[in-house]
Amino acid sequence: MTQDVETVRAETTPGSRARRVPTSRADRDRRRPRGDRGRRGGGGRRVAGGRRKAPQPGKTVLKVILASLLSLGLATGLGVVLIYNNWNGNIDRQDVSKQLTNRPAKEEVAGPKEPMNILVMGSDTRAGEGNGIDGEATNGLSDTTILFHLSANREFAYGISVPRDTAVMRPECTKEDGSKIRAASGYEKWNAAFAYGGPACTIQQFEQATKIRVDNYVVVDFNQFKDMVNALDGVEVCIPDDIDDEVRNIHLKAGTREIKGNEALTYVRARYRIGDGTDPNRTRRQQAFIGSMINKALTAGMIARPDRMISFMNAATSSLQTDFKGIAQMADLAVTAQGIGADNIKFITTPWVYSDKVSSGIEWTPDVERLWQLVRRDKPLTPEFLKDALSAGDNPDGSPSVGGQPGDTGSEPESPSSPASPSGTPDGTPNGTSNGTPGGTPGTDSPIPPPTPEGLSASGREAAGLCT
């Protein structure tokens, strides 16, 4: 018969007396008083006659809670490490700084942090499963370019969209192997730079055109975008009229509702048979969608729903191309910006007019230089730009958000825009400026202008295919 552990320990200890511990039910019964035989120990002990003694739930529940907490602690600790490593592994980190030349210096501003300029590019490549949603084919253009500016005091942030059809003189840029891509000999569309040399050429183009130093970049493709929307379980939009584009197989019903999957992707990609059909107004619709997406991410209980947060981060980092060093650097930046509310995150489009420099193109108006000065000097948007802004706190149907302002500023008569300025941005002297002071700051001899209502006007929302 095999000896138990206690017997072996006792026999191997000099001067000790072996003690045999009963290991079978028969052994234990022989050691019990005769009157107790037939009973079972534990919370639900059986007594003679088959009746079960009342259990002792307190001890049982306590053991379960302790065991669960221990298991949860171990699982959570291990899970965080695995998830963190997985997110880092998802990222395609590509430092393009060596490919950039003649870079603008960053202006010194008051802290406490450093202002951040992050260039976000949305690749419209149809390569890869799930990307060919509209029957079109491209070599990978920057369908969307947004400069996201985060203030040094972390009190405001804004995104500035550059429409892809903007006419620009594409500068020389450098490939990863050090060879040069010649500059354009004439005007080209903004998104051509991405097709020639990827994010490095787009950053080079942006910095040379704006004199703004880009700190980091991010490239997102269609599938990532769609998966992030799905992780949020949809994003709310308001579609004023049915969209039926037979050529591109885009069909969306009018109404206010949450959309996700391919429906969300076709909504932000749709250009024809919605709004006025121009690329800048599609850009505004994309801004509204991203704002609604941010708003839901901030208010949808992401912290209370770890499963949703993990799914969102899995989607956000999947095949993400960036020069951020890793998730930790992104997380640190996000933590510093956590006090910025949705209403303080604005989206605007570079002021533009139609142009024949490129086919179906547009070009920037002189007002854009004042906008770039605001970014360089880390200033909030001024009224001349806020009047055409969308906010992450806006309601999709155009009604005012809580604590915000309505998207429709129709309380006062709207002055008609110049036919040459569809954006509605003035072509003449800036608001409240007679001396060219950046940011529209009134000079000593200039009158203070009346307050400009904030938010995109009803006509602007209509042109963008948004509800009013």
Note whether 245 and 388 are same-domain residues.
Answer: yes
pLDDT of residue 79: 56
Residue 369 domain flag = yes
**Which residue, chain included where needed, has tokens 């010649």?**
182
Predicted confidence (pLDDT) at residue 406 exceeds the cutoff of 80? no
- Residues of the chain with pLDDT > 90, as a percent, come to 35
Residue 354 domain flag = yes
Note whether 10 and 120 are same-domain residues.
Answer: no
pLDDT in tens, 83-92: 677 788 888 9
Residue 110 domain flag = yes
**Which residue, chain included where needed, has tokens 């998802």?**
90
3-state SS of the chain: helix, strand, coil percent to 5?
35, 15, 50
pLDDT of residue 74: 47
Question: For the chain, what is the mean pLDDT?
Answer: 75
Determine which of 146-150, 228-232, 297-301, 431-435 has the lowest per-residue pLDDT on average. Answer: 431-435
User: Which ranges constitute the DSSP H helices of 213-278?
Assistant: 222-231, 261-269
Band of residue 433 on the pLDDT scale cut at 50, 70, 90: very low
Pairing of strands 92-93, 188-189: unpaired
Which helix (H) or strand (E) element contains residue 252?
Answer: strand 250-252
Note whether 22 and 119 are same-domain residues.
Answer: no
At residue 236's C-alpha, the angle toward residues 231 and 242, to 5°, is: 120
Predicted confidence (pLDDT) at residue 443 exceeds the cutoff of 50? no
Note whether 242 and 345 are same-domain residues.
Answer: yes
pLDDT in tens, 169-178: 999 999 999 9
Predicted confidence (pLDDT) at residue 347 exceeds the cutoff of 50? yes
pLDDT of residue 426: 35
Q: Which residues contact 451 (CB under 8 A, 6 or more apart)?
A: 383
Higher-pLDDT residue of 169 and 37 is 169
Residue 222 domain flag = yes
Higher-pLDDT residue of 164 and 420 is 164
Determine which of 118-132, 200-214, 335-349, 437-451 has the lowest per-residue pLDDT on average. Answer: 437-451
Note whether 156 and 26 are same-domain residues.
Answer: no
Give the chain's domain count: 2
pLDDT of residue 184: 97
CA distances for 249 relative to 220, 254, 464, angstroms: 23, 16, 20
Handedness of CA 212, 354, 387, 459 (dihedral sign): negative
Note whether 31 and 152 are same-domain residues.
Answer: no
Note whether 10 and 122 are same-domain residues.
Answer: no
User: CA 328 from chain center: how many Å?
Assistant: 16
Note whether 29 and 101 are same-domain residues.
Answer: no
Determine which of 7-16, 227-236, 383-392, 455-464 has the lowest per-residue pLDDT on average. Answer: 7-16
What tokens does 230 get?
A: 């799905």
CATH code for the domain of 110: 3.40.630.190
CA distance 335 to 316: 17
Predicted confidence (pLDDT) at residue 282 exceeds the cutoff of 70? yes
Report the pLDDT averaged over residues 138-157: 80
CA distance 194 to 74: 46
pLDDT of residue 61: 63
What tokens does 409 get?
A: 């500023």
Note whether 261 and 116 are same-domain residues.
Answer: yes
Domain range enclosing 403: 91-410+449-463
Residue 41 domain flag = no
User: CA 182 from chain center: how many Å?
Assistant: 34
Note whether 106 and 202 are same-domain residues.
Answer: yes
Q: Are 146 and 160 in contact (CB under 8 A)?
A: yes
Residue 419 domain flag = no
Residue 195 domain flag = yes
Predicted confidence (pLDDT) at residue 136 exceeds the cutoff of 60? no
- Residues of the chain with pLDDT > 70, as a percent, come to 65
Q: Which residues contact 463 (CB under 8 A, 6 or more apart)?
A: 275, 276, 278, 281, 422
What tokens does 333 get?
A: 């930046």
First-last CA distance in the chain: 87
Note whether 31 and 96 are same-domain residues.
Answer: no
Note whether 23 and 160 are same-domain residues.
Answer: no
Residue 55 domain flag = no
